[in-house]
Amino acid sequence: MRPNSILAVVFLIGPMIPVCCRGQAAAESPPSTLNRSADPELAARIDWSKQMRGAPLPGEGCFHARYPALRWEKLSCAQEPLRARLGGIDQRGGLAKRWGVTERSVAVAQGTISIATGLFPSVSINGEQSVGGSTSGAIDGWNEYSLQINTNPDATTAACKKHVGCTVWQQFTYLTDGLGKGKAAVTMQYWLLNFGSKNCPSHWHSTTVGSELDCVRNSKSIEAPNIPPSALGASAVVLSAVATPGGDAVTLFDGLQLWTVGAKDTMLDISSVWNEAEFNIFGDAGDSQAQFDGDASVTVLLSYTDGTSMPPFCLLNQSVTGETNNLIPLPLSCEVGTNQLPFMQFTEVLVPPPPPPKLTCAQLLTIVSAAETTLHAAQHRLHTPACENGLSVECLNQVKVAEQALTAAEGRYRKNCP
């Protein structure tokens, strides 16, 4: 269904009584790779997007904003065709196991997440296509993909209606061609997993995985442009999700415009149980896989607000959605921390670099000898004119660094050459 894009209402940013998504703010990526002086115009648009996403929506429904206007335009919503995304019996991994690729990273928060933001600080993509969709809702083809922010699928709320074993799960998504050719969709999808009854609640659709009955429905959708996957980094594309008692929202920023959908949180009451978040680029619905060509490399950055200043725990190899990609996270690349907000960042590549060759004991001993020589030279330098005239502190630091290097070299030798 083609959405009606006729402008209905214009809301200026200013004093207002927020109806939807109370407490919405822009949870931004703390470690930024943007060179603001090199591209001041892009920096200004990013600042504008933060300001707009930090302003409460004036109500439920679909809204649009274009830089530099400080106003939300309310548009008529569309209804995206139902495209089931979770697959497989296991709630952690889903049909990702069918592809043999489950190496996604999930951020485990220390508090309850209310806002999550995902973006790609670095993207190197030559070509991408979505393939292998196993349902009629899959969108396969070149430059087809989805961006997803997914909640944890292991908690229950009143939405489960006391059904034993039932849990809730919510996805905040952007899907290329989700509303038809050339019309991407920004939307939310709600799940009652293992509902345990032959009949789903009214207006919910049923889907069966093995002996498990799941119930699924979509929020309203808003049409957005298709963004080539190769432009995700350069355009500063951001997908953000809000889940508060005042309302839920999903928002896409393409570097110039914002598209957002707001709805009541009462559909799942996900705001009361959201403590893990996943963000990535995946296949375009229906258990499909985003397959990249060449020397593809994508850096994924997820930041969030959870009411704490504690960094998340990086949960490896635990994707929660049925869609996948064929990239492999680099070993030890999952970085977590706090810089204004908790964040998790990792880099995934098509072909990981080979591990460094194992050094022989003779080579390791040579490294130890070189470290000893460096340390002796630094110690000797302390007693020369080069370390006079206020340079003694610098010289002492050089000795300390040399001592640390020698200790590391000796430890590596003892570990590998007993």
Query: For 263-295, what is each residue's pLDDT tens digit?
Result: 999 999 999 999 999 999 999 988 889 999 888
Tell which residue, 218, 297, 222, has the closest CA to residue 252: 222
Least confident of 10-19, 56-65, 232-241, 378-387: 10-19
Q: Which pLDDT score is estimated for 16?
A: 29
Taking every pair of Cα atoms in the chain, the longest distance, rounded to a whole number of angstroms, is 87
Q: Which pLDDT score is estimated for 387?
A: 75
Q: Residue 261: beta bridge partners?
A: 62, 250
Q: What does the block give as tokens for 318? A: 């635990």
Mean pLDDT for the chain overall: 82
Q: Which pLDDT score is estimated for 228?
A: 94
Is CATH 2.60.40 correct for 96-349?
A: no
Half-sphere exposure at residue 73, Cβ-oriented, CA atoms within 13 angstroms? 16
Give per-residue pLDDT as tens, 325-338.
999 888 778 899 98
pTM, two decimals, is 0.76
Q: 24 near 249, Cβ under 8 Å? A: yes
Give me the mean pLDDT over the 296-313 stretch.
Answer: 93
Domain chopping of the chain, boundaries = 96-349, 361-416
